[in-house]
Homo-oligomer: A and B are copies of this chain.
Amino acid sequence: MDPLRTHHQNISQPAMSRGGADQESVVETPDVAALAQLLADRTRVAICMALLDGGTWTASELAEFAAVAPSTATEHLNLLVSGGLLAEQRRGRRRYVRLAGPDTAETLEILAGLAPYRQVPVRSLAEANHRRALHHARTCYDHIAGALGVAITDAMTERGLLARDYGLVLTCAGARWLTALGIPDTVPSAAHRAHVRTCLDWTVRRRHLSGAVGAALYRHAVDREWLVKAPATRILTVTDAGRAAFRDHLALPDEALFPSLTPAAPRP
C-alpha cells in the first residue's frame, strides 16, 4: 500500500525528523511494542526476575545469574535502564542496578501470571533445592509469594480478615487484626477500605495478597524476624518465631510452614 513503507521498519530508531516538512502535525502514542521488545528476551527477563527480590545487584552478579558474558550483560542493562525499567547508580567501578519502582515490579508479576508455562530442566540437586525453596516462600518485590503467601491469603480469607467481592478487600475485622499486630501506620483511618491487591502466583497459579497491605505485612514479618530473606535471592525462610506467629495468628498448617512439606508444583 504505502510506497514509503520499506520492509520491516518496525521499531528501530525514532525516524529522524526529515526535511522539516510536516513537523507540526504529530501525536504522541504509547509505544507498547518498544516496551514489550525489552521483555522479549529470556536473558533480560531473567535479570528482571532476579531484581524482583527488590534488591540492588551489580552488573557482574546479574551476568553470572543470567549465564551470559559481562559484555552481553552490559548491553542488556543499557537497554533496560534507558527503557525505564531499571534504575542504576554508579559507584566507583561498580554499577548498581535495581527495578525502577513498584509499577515495574507489578507489571512483571502481571505478565508472569498471564504468560504461558515452559518446561525447564533442573540440572543439579542444588538447583532443585533452590527451586523448592522459591516455591515455598519468596519475595515478590515488596510482599510474600509462594505457597506461604497463598496460605496466608487463604487463611486471612477463611478467618474473615479478607473478603472476596469483585476482587479481594480488607474487612473491618481485618483492619482490627492488623492494628492488633502492630501495623497501624500503613493503614489509614478508614482501614477497611485500604488498598488490597492480588497477584497471580506463577508457582501455584493461585492468587496471593499484595498491595499496600501485603507490603506492610511483609515488612512486619521481616522486622519481627518471622521471615529471613536470603541475600542475593528471593528466598524467604520461616524462623521458629515465624512458625509460632503464623500458627498463632492465622492457624497456618505445617505444610505452609516447612519447605520440605510443600507438594511438588501442583499443575491445575
Residues of B within 8 A of A163 (CB): 190, 193
Residues of B within 8 A of A5 (CB): 67
Residues of B within 8 A of A39 (CB): 32-33, 36, 40
The digit string for A210-253, where 1 denotes a CB below 8 A from any CB of B, is: 01100000000000000000000000000000000000000000
Residue of B with least CB distance to A167:
B195
Interface SS of chain A: helix, strand, loop or mixed?
A: mixed
The digit string for A168-210, where 1 denotes a CB below 8 A from any CB of B, is: 0101000000000000000010101111010000100000000
**Most chain B Cβ neighbours within 10 Å, of A10, A29, A83:** A29
Pairwise interchain contact A29-B120, C-beta atoms closer than 8 A: yes
Interchain CA distance A111-B104 in the complex, whole Å: 10
Pairwise interchain contact B107-A110, C-beta atoms closer than 8 A: yes
Residue of B with least CB distance to A29:
B120
Pairwise interchain contact A202-B113, C-beta atoms closer than 8 A: no
Does A75 sit within 8 A of B, measured CB to CB? no
On chain A, which size bracket covers the interface? 35 or more
* Identical chains bound together, number: 2
Does A126 sit within 8 A of B, measured CB to CB? no
Does A6 sit within 8 A of B, measured CB to CB? no
Residue of B with least CB distance to A124:
B25
From 35 to 55 in chain A, residues with beta carbon under 8 angstroms from any chain B beta carbon are 35-45, 48-49
Pairwise interchain contact B119-A26, C-beta atoms closer than 8 A: yes
Pairwise interchain contact B32-A121, C-beta atoms closer than 8 A: no
Q: Distance in Å from the Cβ of A179 to the closest Cβ of chain B?
A: 16
Which A residues are within 8 Å of any B CB, using their own CB? Answer: 1-2, 5, 10-11, 14-15, 22, 25-45, 48-49, 67, 83-84, 103-104, 106-108, 110-123, 128, 131, 163, 165-167, 169, 171, 188, 190, 192-195, 197, 202, 211-212, 265, 267
11 A-B pairs whose Cβ atoms sit less than 8 Å apart in the complex: A22-B121, A25-B122, A26-B120, A30-B112, A31-B117, A32-B108, A34-B116, A35-B115, A36-B37, A84-B116, A165-B195
